[in-house]
């Protein structure tokens, strides 16, 4: 599929989809606490999404059975909510969510600490977020797509972290996943030239240890191969002629 350039009308709808998702993440962060199951987190998220008149974009996407991906500790992404999975003090919890507003998608992820967590967990969460902001310094018309990738990867690797390679960011709009694919590590090619009106979900997934990951038998949950902690930070971003707009941050 060609990469789409969104019209002013489409940007308006995606801006709204992004604002709502930012509010959903705020509610999830407020509600998250030890003793909850990951299923409770999904219930809360879906309820908030629907209260804004949106649809959860992950529900039934390629058969994914929930609205929020809830991934604990060494789980990288796509954890499936379960009543049996109880969140404990000291866990780090990655929450990935998407909403559809009038046919347009937004996608964003955050990793939260529950109660007091280790210093190394705090550092991982912070540096993962910082790597996203290093990347979007290059998210501007005229630059190349993989300038973003290189900046994210180089930043995280400076701290000795493993940058997940099996999963990437992506274009977004009328579909959750559109072209282009956006790796979080250095590519030899420069990638496509960025143009105003592109909407991209940029999402570093960073591990304390190796970059290598495995898929569990549920066919969804991605875990670090060495069992080390992993963090995720994602926003839906609009490319402009000037600074990028973070549609999922308010
Ligand atoms: N943010 C995730 C991604 O871009 C979306 C989760 S996939 C789903 O891969 F199947 F869970 F919806
Ligand atoms: Co995404």
3-state secondary structure 3-55: CCCCCHHHHHHHHHHHHHHHHHHHHHHHHCCCCCEHHHHHHHHHHHHHHCCCE
C-alpha–C-alpha distance, residues 45 and 179, integer Å: 27
Report whether residue 138 contacts ligand 1, using a CB cutoff of 6 Å.
Answer: no
* φ, ψ (nearest 5 deg) of residue 228: -75, 160
Mean pLDDT of 153-172: 98
> Quick one: pLDDT at residue 82?
98
Q: Whose CA is nearest to atom 11 of ligand 1?
A: 58
Neighbouring residues of 43: CB distance < 8 A, sequence distance ≥ 6: none
> Quick one: pLDDT at residue 2?
86
Report whether residue 105 contacts ligand 1, using a CB cutoff of 6 Å.
Answer: no
Q: With cut-offs at 50, 70 and 90, classify the pLDDT of residue 1.
A: confident
Distance 78 CA to ligand 1 centre (A): 7
Mean pLDDT of 186-211: 98
Mean pLDDT value across the chain: 98
């Amino acid at each position: 599929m060609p990469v789409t350039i969104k019209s002013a009308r489409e940007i308006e709808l995606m801006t709204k989809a992004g604002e709502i998702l930012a509010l959903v993440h705020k509610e999830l962060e407020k509600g998250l606490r030890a003793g909850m199951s990951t299923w409770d987190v999904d219930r809360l998220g879906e309820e908030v999404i629907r209260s804004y008149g949106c649809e959860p974009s992950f529900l039934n996407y390629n058969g994914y059975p929930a609205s929020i991906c809830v991934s604990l500790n060494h789980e990288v992404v796509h954890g499936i909510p379960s009543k049996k999975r109880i969140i404990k003090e000291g866990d780090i919890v990655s929450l990935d969510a998407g909403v559809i507003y009038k046919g347009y998608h937004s996608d964003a992820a955050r990793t939260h600490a529950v109660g007091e967590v280790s210093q190394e967990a705090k550092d991982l969460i912070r540096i993962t977020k910082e790597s996203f902001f290093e990347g979007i310094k290059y998210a501007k018309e005229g630059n190349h797509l993989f300038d973003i990738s290189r900046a994210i990867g180089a930043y995280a690797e400076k701290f000795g972290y493993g940058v997940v390679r099996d999963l990437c960011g992506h274009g977004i709009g009328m579909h959750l996943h559109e072209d282009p694919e956006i790796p979080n590590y250095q590519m030899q090619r420069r990638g496509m030239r960025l143009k105003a009106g592109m909407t991209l979900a940029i999402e570093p997934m960073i591990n304390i240890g190796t970059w290598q990951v495995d898929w569990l038998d549920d066919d969804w949950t991605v875990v670090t191969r060495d069992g080390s902690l992993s963090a995720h930070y994602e926003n839906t971003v609009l490319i402009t002629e000037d600074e990028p707009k973070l549609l999922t941050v308010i």
